[in-house]
Structure 1
């Protein structure tokens, strides 16, 4: 708001958008109860759905991350925010603040540090305006239809607390009022919701009947107490977080000091080793150089003696008598023999000297091993906090887990409703659909491993296009840039295709290991490598390897041969099927194991998907079955058995926001469609 008097503090948080942190404009409320500016909500939807290419007609709440489904699944994504109602309570509080808090200043002028008295108020923009800003506002094309009132004349009639009549409207069917309460799901619903979603529920009563035994004051009191307790508890958590922030800042300072000390110690040691080695070099060089100098001096002495003999021989042969010549030649012959002997002895003693560096044999290994001083380890342990105090009241309890349709999950079964062929005229082998991918615009991608093809089908499963690949594809996913990535495991290659208008090749990504399963987690690629090191590769979208995840017990036949990977809707849990270990593992985004699932009737886990409640469905390749598993890793029911189909299930994919899924089978030309029924 334009002003902030003390009284307004009561509404400050309520009237502030959690996204833009400014006053709410067209406050739009989601089914979970959180309210945002309509434009901010649409921007959030665009970032989560449009930019990511998510096929499901839902999005997470920015605050509580709850999956939010649409009242109308046929609406354009660009207008999803408009499908949700205005929060009448927030609108009322905004209007109370307009009436109560004294003189108002123009919001636009305040941004320029000018206090100009407001003369008008726009109910759509939720802004006060001076006369000049009003003229500009009214001339703006997008604001022509806005409801602008004059504060001097229309204050009492137009900006008072409005009726809260919209509060009892259904969030999913805006023209319907809340009429019923479903005790099976503890849910309020209109007549349309009751017919579509709660028709099989046994305990659904008119809301007026519920009011006969409903103590609103008591419930309000305990809810207010609990919420205040939660608020206080969150403040304690924030305090702990701040303490932890201070602690890790101290940890950082200590580690920096340790790193510098470690470097100093290593430098000192290296300097001493260097000085010792240089001293040894100087000593050896001096000694060997002296040896060569002595050898050279002996050679010079011998040359001098030979030169003297030659001079005497020349003198005698020129001026001496015949007798003298005979004597001289006789002596020279003896000297010649002595010279030959001396040279022979000298040559035997003469050695060619070379000085070299013999490196410590362990040093290359040490250099290879010493690729880092150490590594920074982050350890996380559960913060010790007292439990949040909660006031409880008696609530109806369900005997079994219930699905959205009201039928207990353990009593529901998969019933085949149709099947269709994916065999093309030019296919040379029976089909092996190793993966099914759903796209927007009701498109489906089938990855045919045997025929080395990508097949795209539209509504009613009519073939739109197919592409022949140079290798056997296994898995596919949609990248953040809306392109599709397809794995070719034996070529260690990920092919990237553009999907606009017609499928076309964009680029290739080479991987260090075989690439089987693929998924996108927060902008990074998660790749399973099968039996190739039994590991998981984390890559960026350009193919650069960020890290390798390998479970500590992968050598003990526990988690071997990861083939399929699937993320839950909000990308907080990663599910991976381990064919060699007969297990399904769930990881958090830090790659800590949340749970592992195994069952005596599940062999060779393959394709994975999650239903719209977050429960898991898993194909058993070697056990010829499909199991339904709860989010906490407990078997709910075997949906498809070997006795029913007698085929090997490979991949499974749920339809968007439906209890319907399709299953592909090994060396089978048809894809079968099932419904979850009671």
Structure 2
């Protein structure tokens, strides 16, 4: 008997095109790993391509909006979709799902007009055989080894696994396997990519070395959680849209009732005005309902794509090789960001729509004077939804990769490689960049104490946005929920912002004392109080004060004015710079002193950071220098001298896991970028 394919339920989301919402036909995969029908992709490219006719032609992915460059713009327009590779995983699933399970008959018996159920299949002869014919076949070909298999294995879909080998292929060079990982750009690459795009990168390691320290299970868990949370959040949004559509339908019904009750009091002249108003209502409702419908469809498309990714993730994590897991998880991590960006854009576009009737106050005198019955108005307001929960997981530090090699940082020199202006046209004072925060996606946040702003710059130091604050900000850090916390010491306030896409204020935390430096350790906030009590406040993430810490000998040792705090990567050491005592102190997690750093050439310690090897870099406010210090508190060298810059350094911040750092200066509109060079 014929049965339905088990794959229909298991791979339903994988097989659905996000554009037409039908089963994929000739599935084509984009670099962002989203898959579409060949014809659907062709139509989308034709209508959405930007810079048509130029080598820079590109189009946005319909799901995640990632820009995709056309591989060959010289091809004819109707062949553009053909330029992209076939998703062989989906194709194999489609092949499986299209197979039928009708009863098969022995090919040899059929020749003798007998219908005997086939039990085996010879791969060499390409023949189906019953039990008897199989025995005859094996005896006849006893000297030849033919591959005969049981039909139950051939048609047992539940144990057929689609080929995952294409995951290992480079998306840019389809005939090449991915063999390396560039830590400078967080990019997987083949031999060709490595030579063309990463030959100048210092940290390119074999993928086998990456696998040795790659916690695929943990990464899979948090990626699956994040993507599932985004999918669930998208479901909430589409549910809100449907609820909104139902509400405006009720609005429409209520307005129609009002219109018809008024019409009963009017004469024939009112008929035309009533028809016109109803037409206006219908038109507005149709337009707004269509808008909500389109938004709902788009949301469903994203949900489908997310479900597809989760299915593929489950498939690879269950049956894939280590290399395949690394690759699919790396791709899923990028898709997570794209999904979150698409979710943010999607949520920003949503408006709560309400249809209302504005009745003319002189309606009863309208016969001679009024030319219209009323007016249909549409009100759109921002839909209020809770933020999407996205969890984070600690990533392995660069030094854990066995493939890294290079000159130790202690043997390198700081060389200035760039300088750019952070002063904006509406800034009223010289810039006083008291902190720098490096985020994902090449974004950098500059905290401007003088101009009461936080400023965001992207790749190539291009300005993106700024936020005016009601007070002077000093320090910033990333919270466990990926939001950003900024201290306003004189307001005794910590502001929390969402950092994905544009900044959005999330909440405020009020503190008992002035809050200057801020860092996160083990889900707790470490706050320095430079202006009051010279102590360290420890707060819960929600802002509630847990306790304060202050060494008993803080007066005798002049541990005064702690402006900056830094936690090492392993969250085992806390570094605090005491401007009032010309000291930098290292504490363990029990707040016992590990060492106290002083130097005759270091005056007024301010900004503090650690490089990727764990060494400490410290800015001298009064001595106008930056020193490089070992993990045991010994001076390695002076990176930047007063003679070289003749400016007062405020803070120093390394790029995320790189050998490049920012330095900011007192009342200076420029930020300088240095590399640690041989």
Give your verdict on TM over 0.5.
no
- Which of the two has higher C-alpha Rg? 1
TM-score of the superposition, structure 1-length normalised? 0.43
Tell me the TM-score normalised to structure 2 length.
Answer: 0.43
